Amino acid sequence: MPVMSGPQKKLTSAELLLLPDDGKRHELIDGVHYVTPSPRIPHQVLVGRIFVAIANFLAVHQHLGRVFLSPVDVVMSEHDLVVPDLLFVTRDQQSILTDANVQGVPALVVEVLSPSTRRRDEGIKRKLFDQKGVREYWVVDPKAMRVSICRRAEDGSFPIVTTLEASIDDQLSSPLLPAFSLSMRELFAEI
């Protein structure tokens, strides 16, 4: 639910970072403040499985970059601060990492849909990630048991390039993580 700080005043990421920690996820998209309650257990199971799979892969392929699990603030601009479920920063992007947060645009962002965030994740967040230059965006849908992947094309567009299904045991992979693969059946098992 958006919370405006005043009529027509855009909140800044610096102002948002001054808010006290209340255990909720606070994000800023084009100066509009969004508050999201803590995620449910199935959501966290999916995020955890993806994180473990990528982290285990990176243990052997450390040269590729680093993976981070929420909550980590990603400051994309003065008026855009998001807290993705998971993000991957490639080796050539290490300068965007600070002790406090990420100051820039990660290569890969992953969001697991929930009833309270579905429209935002598929709409304004996807648009934000496109505008800011995210290379790849995975949208994980627990209800449909599928993962949609948006990937930056050579012409700069950010289309959905594939939708992977658990029902046919598609394999989740990415050019950002060469040789990485995660079974959709394993990802969605017992969710």
CATH number at residue 75: 3.90.1570.10
Does the residue 12 lie in any domain?
A: no
Does the residue 112 lie in any domain?
A: yes
Does the residue 25 lie in any domain?
A: no
Q: pLDDT tens track of the chain, all 191 residues?
A: 555 444 568 889 888 888 888 878 899 999 999 998 888 999 999 999 999 999 999 999 999 999 999 999 999 999 999 999 999 999 999 999 999 999 999 999 999 999 888 999 999 999 999 999 999 999 999 999 999 999 999 999 999 999 999 999 899 999 999 999 999 999 999 98
Does the residue 135 lie in any domain?
A: yes
The CA distance from 162 to 175, in Å, is 13
Does the residue 84 lie in any domain?
A: yes
Q: Are the CB atoms for 103 and 96 separated by under 8 Å? A: yes
Task: State the residue for tokens 């392929």.
Answer: 61
DSSP 8-class letter at 130: H
Does the residue 29 lie in any domain?
A: no
Does the residue 93 lie in any domain?
A: yes
Does the residue 21 lie in any domain?
A: no
The CA distance from 163 to 78, in Å, is 33
159-175 pLDDT per residue, tens: 999 999 999 989 999 99
Nearest 5°: CA angle at 23, between 17 and 27?
45
Tell me the two tokens of residue 88. 């991957």
Domain containing 94: what range? 39-188
Q: How many structural domains is the chain composed of?
A: 1
